[in-house]
C-alpha cells in the first residue's frame, strides 16, 4: 500500500507542476502575441504558442501514464503475505525444493511412521472418526520420508520400469510422474500421507468417498487431483492427502484450486 501512495503522490505533483508551467507560458504567449501583432509577426508567434502548448500537454499525459504504472502495480496484501509464510502452506514440488537444512518437527504414529507433530493430532483424529462410523479399512501406508529414502525409492522405481522393457529415459520420466526428487517431495516435510495400498483401488473404498466429503474439516486436501495433472506434474493419486489446515483446505476446495494455484492466488491478492 505504501508503494501505491508514493506513486499517486508523485503523479499528482507532476501534473500540478506542468499545469503551472502551461499557465505561465500561456500568459507570456498572449502578451507576446499582443505585442508582436503590432509588428506583423502574429503567425510565427501563434505557431510557437501552439507547439509549446501541445508539447507540454503531451508531457502531462506521458507523465501520468508512467505513474499509473506505479500506482496500479500489484502489491500482495499483508494478509496474503502472512498466509504465504505459514508452514502449513509450504510448497514443495518439481520447481520448489525444500531447504536442505529444514528438519520438520516429528511425532510417531507408530513404530514405523512419523508425521509433523503440529498436524499429527488432526491426522489421528480423522482416522479415528472414520473408524467410529464403521470405516475400518483405512491405514497410513506412507507418511514422512527422509530424503535419502526418497532417493532409494526413485532408484527402485526406475529399475522396475527398466525390467518392464522401458528405456532409461522412459523409466526416469515415468518415475518423475509419481515420485518426487529428494527435497522436492511433500513426504520429506512430514505433511503428506498415503493411505492403504497406494493404488487406484482406493478410489472405490468408502474411506475415499468419506475423505472427499470430510477431510477438509481436519485440514487435509486431495493433493494430486485428476484434473490438475498439467499443473502439479504428478499423475492423479487418490491415496495422497496433504495437511494444510482446515481454513486453507476449505478455501482451496471452494475455489477449486490445487496447492500450486492457491499459492499463485495469494500472491496476486
pLDDT 10s digits, 195-219: 998 899 999 999 999 999 999 999 9
Mind listing the pLDDT tens digit of every residue in the chain (269 residues)?
444 444 444 444 444 544 555 466 565 555 554 555 555 554 544 554 455 444 444 443 344 333 333 333 567 899 999 999 999 999 999 999 999 999 999 999 999 999 999 999 999 999 999 999 999 999 999 999 998 887 888 899 899 999 999 999 999 999 888 787 889 999 999 999 999 988 999 999 999 999 999 999 999 999 999 999 999 999 999 999 999 999 999 999 999 999 999 999 999 99
Helix (H, G, I), strand (E, B) or coil at 256: coil
Closest CA to 219 of 135, 124, 142, 149: 124
Q: Would you give the end-to-end CA distance of the chain in angstroms?
A: 12
Residue 233 grid coordinates:
506434474
Name the active-site residue from 186, 205, 216, 237.
237
- Look up the CATH number of domain 81-145+185-268: 3.30.1380.10
Closest CA to 179 of 225, 142, 234, 228: 234
* 265: CB partners within 8 A, 6+ apart: 255, 257
For the chain, the domains span 1-36, 81-145+185-268
Q: Work out the number of other CB atoms within 10 angstroms of the CB of residue 69.
A: 11
Q: CA-based Rg of the chain, rounded to a whole angstrom?
A: 31
Q: Give the C-alpha separation, 25 to 45, whole Å.
A: 12
Beta pairing, strands 240-243 & 220-222: antiparallel
Active site residue 79: no
Amino acid at each position: 500500500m505504501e508503494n501505491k501512495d508514493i506513486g499517486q503522490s508523485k503523479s499528482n505533483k507532476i501534473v500540478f507542476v506542468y499545469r503551472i508551467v502551461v499557465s505561465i507560458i500561456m500568459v507570456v504567449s498572449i502578451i507576446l502575441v499582443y505585442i508582436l501583432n503590432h509588428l506583423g509577426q502574429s503567425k510565427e508567434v501563434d505557431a510557437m504558442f501552439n507547439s509549446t502548448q501541445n508539447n507540454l500537454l503531451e508531457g502531462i499525459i506521458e507523465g501520468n501514464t508512467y505513474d499509473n504504472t506505479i500506482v496500479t502495480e500489484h502489491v500482495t496484501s499483508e494478509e496474503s503475505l502472512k498466509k504465504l509464510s505459514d508452514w502449513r502452506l509450504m510448497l514443495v514440488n518439481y520447481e520448489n525444493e525444500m531447504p536442505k537444512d529444514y528438519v520438520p518437527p516429528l511425532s510417531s504414529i507408530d513404530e514405523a511412521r512419523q508425521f509433523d507433530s503440529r498436524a499429527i493430532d488432526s491426522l489421528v483424529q480423522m482416522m479415528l472418526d472414520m473408524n467410529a462410523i464403521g470405516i475400518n479399512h483405512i491405514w497410513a501406508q506412507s507418511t514422512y520420508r527422509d530424503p535419502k529414502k526418497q532417493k532409494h525409492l526413485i532408484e527402485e522405481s526406475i529399475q522396475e520400469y527398466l525390467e518392464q522393457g522401458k528405456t532409461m529415459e522412459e523409466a526416469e520420466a515415468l518415475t518423475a510422474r509419481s515420485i518426487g526428487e529428494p527435497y522436492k517431495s511433500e513426504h520429506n516435510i512430514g505433511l503428506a500421507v498415503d493411505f492403504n495400498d497406494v493404488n487406484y483401488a482406493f478410489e472405490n473404498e468408502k474411506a475415499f468417498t468419506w475423505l472427499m466429503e470430510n477431510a477438509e474439516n481436519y485440514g487435509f486436501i486431495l493433493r494430486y487431483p485428476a484434473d490438475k495433472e498439467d499443473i502439479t506434474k504428478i499423475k492423479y493419486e487418490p491415496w495422497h492427502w496433504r495437511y494444510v489446515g482446515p481454513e486453507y483446505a476449505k478455501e482451496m476446495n471452494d475455489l477449486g484450486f490445487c496447492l500450486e494455484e492457491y499459492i499463485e492466488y495469494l500472491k496476486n491478492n
